[in-house]
Amino acid sequence: MTVVQAAPWIGGALAIGGVGAALSRRRDYLVRWCAWTVAVPAVLGAFALGEPGLTLLAALGGTVCAAEYAALARLRPADRVVLHAAALALPAAAWLTPGRLPQVLAAAVLAALLIPVLAADADDGARRLAFTAGGILWFAPLAGAVLLGNAVLALFAAVSVTDITASLAGRRLRGPKLSPISPDKTWSGALCGAAAGLAALAALDAFTPAHAAAVLLGAPLGDLLESLIKRSLGAKDSASWLAGAGGLLDRLDSLLLTLALALLPAL
């Protein structure tokens, strides 16, 4: 489905989301909805520009997420340089030289491993290399925005619908917890979110077994992955610049793993 074809569906989803946020009477939901009304047109504009726009969107998103993650993990300047360079280089490679993308990824991870070694950092080196290399691998799927093309738009919409529905339904229905990693998440919310996400894929004419599996597994597990990292670092949110919504990484955590799973059949 093209951007023009998807725009009415996404606009309708935003309108429904706005009604739901208003009915919930929760300030954090209203703030998140306002953020989406700004972000979604920007994302649609990037898709309309084709591969150059998608490359810019992925590089910008990766850079912001890398900055939030580096601050959380208390990475040193050299580690941050490698992380940010990878966030920029991987989408660019996916656009300009997709065949060399594995080499670019390998070079970035190798740099992350070598920097603490060359600095002879015996005290903090293992932690630094683990977080830096892990961050590179975590954000690498953003290059999928270039490789997957318009399919990413449907995945982006489906993951957003999944997350919002899971949050709303979980608070209403409650029930057994999904994981001790994130006590606020419930199985009822996850199941309702999964159904909504699959419906979104079908509405956007992007329902395939690969995409369905990516959304079903990637959306909840991606959220739990970030929760695990934040809990290990003693943080509640990745940042605080998005009022009431944390940081950009808090909004893209589910999409990152979803993109990784969606890319697997193409590798």
Shared-domain flag, residues 8 and 69: no
Does residue 74 have a pLDDT over 90? yes
Q: How far is CA 101 from CA 81, 92, 186, 225, in A?
A: 19, 9, 38, 24
Predicted confidence at residue 92, as pLDDT, reads 96
**Residue 250 counted as domain residue:** yes
Q: Do residues 204 and 242 both lie within one domain? A: yes
Average pLDDT rounded to a whole number, residues 223-241: 88
Tell me which of 118, 147, 176 is where a domain ends.
147
Residues 14-43: pLDDT tens digits? 677 777 777 777 776 777 677 777 777 777
157 & 136 share domain: no
Same domain for 68 and 137: yes
Q: What is the pLDDT of residue 245?
A: 65
141 Cβ partners below 8 Å, 6+ apart? 256, 257, 259, 260, 263
Query: How many domains in the chain?
Result: 2
Cα 93 to Cα 136: distance, rounded to the nearest angstrom: 14
Does residue 19 lie within any of the structural domains? no
List beta partners, residue 24: none
Distances (CA, A) of 32 to 78, 80, 245, 251: 34, 28, 6, 9
Same structural domain for residues 91 and 182?
A: no
On whether residue 20 sits in a domain, the answer given is no
The mean pLDDT of 134-146, rounded to a whole number, is 93
> Considering only 27-36, 61-70, 96-105, which range has the smallest mean pLDDT?
27-36
Q: What is the pLDDT of residue 163?
A: 86
Task: Please give the Cα distance from 13 to 3 (Å, whole number).
Answer: 15
Whether 49 is covered by a domain: the verdict is no
On whether residue 231 sits in a domain, the answer given is no
C-alpha 35: how far from chain center: 15
In this predicted structure, what is the pLDDT of residue 38? 73
- Cα separation, 186 vs 182, whole angstroms: 9
State whether 76 and 180 are in the same domain. Answer: no
Whether residue 139 sits in one domain with residue 65:
yes
Tell which of 147, 170, 188 closes a domain. Answer: 147
Q: How confident is the model at residue 136 (pLDDT cuts 50, 70, 90)?
A: very high
Same domain, 213 and 101: no
By percentage, how much of the chain surpasses pLDDT 90? Answer: 54
* Residue 10 lies in domain: 1-14+25-42+151-225+237-267
Residues 206, 194 contacting (CB under 8 angstroms): no
Q: Among 9-23, 226-240, 244-258, where is mean pLDDT lowest? A: 9-23
Q: Indicate the residue among 147, 179, 197 that finishes a domain.
A: 147
Show the DSSP H helices in the chain as ranges.
Answer: 3-24, 27-48, 51-73, 77-96, 101-118, 125-139, 144-147, 151-173, 187-203, 209-232, 248-263
Domain shared by 81 and 38, yes or no: no
Strand partners, 246: 242
Judge if 163 and 200 occupy the same domain. yes
> Angle between the 187-203 and 209-232 helix axes, to the nearest 10 degrees?
140
Within-domain flag for 128: yes
108 and 220 belong to one structural domain: no
pLDDT digits (tens, 9 = 90+) for 176-197: 888 888 888 899 999 999 999 9
CA-derived radius of gyration, the chain:
18
Same-domain status, 33 and 63: no
pTM for this entry: 0.87
